[in-house]
Amino acid sequence: MVAELFQQYVGVVVATVAGFVLVGAALFANRLLAPRQATRAKGLTYECGMLPIGRGRLQIHFRYYLFAILFLVFDIEAVFLFPWALSFLDVGAMAFYEMLLFIIALGFGLYYAWRKGVLQWR
Amino acid sequence: MTGVGEVAAFWILATITVGSAVVVALVRDLVRAVVALVGSFLGVAGLFILLSAEFLAVVQVLIYAGAISILMVFAIALTPRSARDNAETAMRWLALALALAMVGLLIAVATVTEWGPQAKEGFQETASAIGEALLNRYVLPFEVASVLLLAAMLGAVVMVRED
């Protein structure tokens, strides 16, 4: 029974290894064939021919954190939906209302963000 | 865990998981550390599959390797002090002590716990069983989770608001 389960993952392992080999071989061939000359000017950031001013690091606005949080929250909701959908028919009508409550709670959060105008792309 | 394939898979996955975790601790660049952390998360997902907990493996890939790592990249990009990289701080001895205490706790839990027969044979189907448990026995924690997610959303909105 368990052995059968692992049989299904042989394909996953083969695909994963093949993916890594494919990318690794491309990078290795690149390293082998391309000429390399590391000079200081080559490593500089290109800024219309002028010497770059300041650090290369850019401070992004705080606002974008909200989008990351929203992505995480709805990702977790999707994870909860999956086992719910599988056992939906066995549990009956209660399952529907329980998930409805769950989605309404998250929907309220999205509504609040919308009303406060923080979803506006400025 | 009987066949040669399973034992080999366990050691390979354990090497990937622990090796990536070591890279996270040693590498100087924080973004590279996050990429190595994704490798560690994926190794743990493979270990979950070996434990026949397929649903947990999918959650591990979707939430940890997918969303949590994105959140970490955002956190690095948002923090001005992250420009000084993964430099050594005075906190590292405290971190080492905490990590060792955690290892001790995990070993104690693993040896003391009475593992049921399921732990040796593996599970048949986990996702629908988890769904049923969530909707029947653990319905209150399930709804509390939605309140927790709501609180996270509201907190982020309040932080980001400009007025």
Residue A1 has pLDDT above 60, yes or no: no
Q: How many domains does chain A have?
A: 1
Is the residue at A3 inside a domain? no
Q: Are the Cβ atoms of B67 and A77 closer than 8 angstroms?
A: no
C-alpha span between B11 and B30 (Å, rounded): 27
The string of pLDDT tens digits covering residues A32-83 is 998 887 787 777 777 677 777 766 666 777 778 888 888 899 999 999 888 8
Domain of A92, in residue numbers: 62-115
Interface ipTM > 0.85? no
Chain B residues touching residue A65 (CB < 8 angstroms)? 74-75, 78, 156, 159-160
- Any CB–CB contact under 8 A between B104 and chain A? no
A83 located within any domain: yes
Nearest-Å Rg of the Cα atoms of chain B is 19
Tens of pLDDT, residues B92-143: 889 889 999 999 999 999 899 887 766 666 667 778 888 888 888 888 988 8
**pTM, entire model:** 0.80
Tokens for A22, please give them. Answer: 């494919």
Structural domain contains residue A69: yes
Answer yes or no: are the C-beta atoms of A108 and B150 closer than 8 Å: yes
In a domain, A73, yes or no: yes
Give residue-wise pLDDT tens across range B29-79: 888 899 999 999 999 999 998 888 888 999 999 999 989 999 998 888 887
CB contacts under 8 A, B 10-49 vs A, are 49
Contact B62 A1 (CB under 8 A): no
Q: How confident is the model at residue B2 (pLDDT cuts 50, 70, 90)?
A: low
CB contact under 8 A, A1 and B153: no
Query: CB under 8 Å to B17, separation ≥6 — which residues?
Result: B40, B43, B44, B46, B47
Q: CB of B9 within 8 Å of any CB in chain A?
A: yes
B89 and chain A in contact, CB less than 8 A? no
Q: What is the 3-state secondary structure (H, E, C) of A39-67?
A: CHHHHCCCECCECCCCCCCCCCCCCHHHH
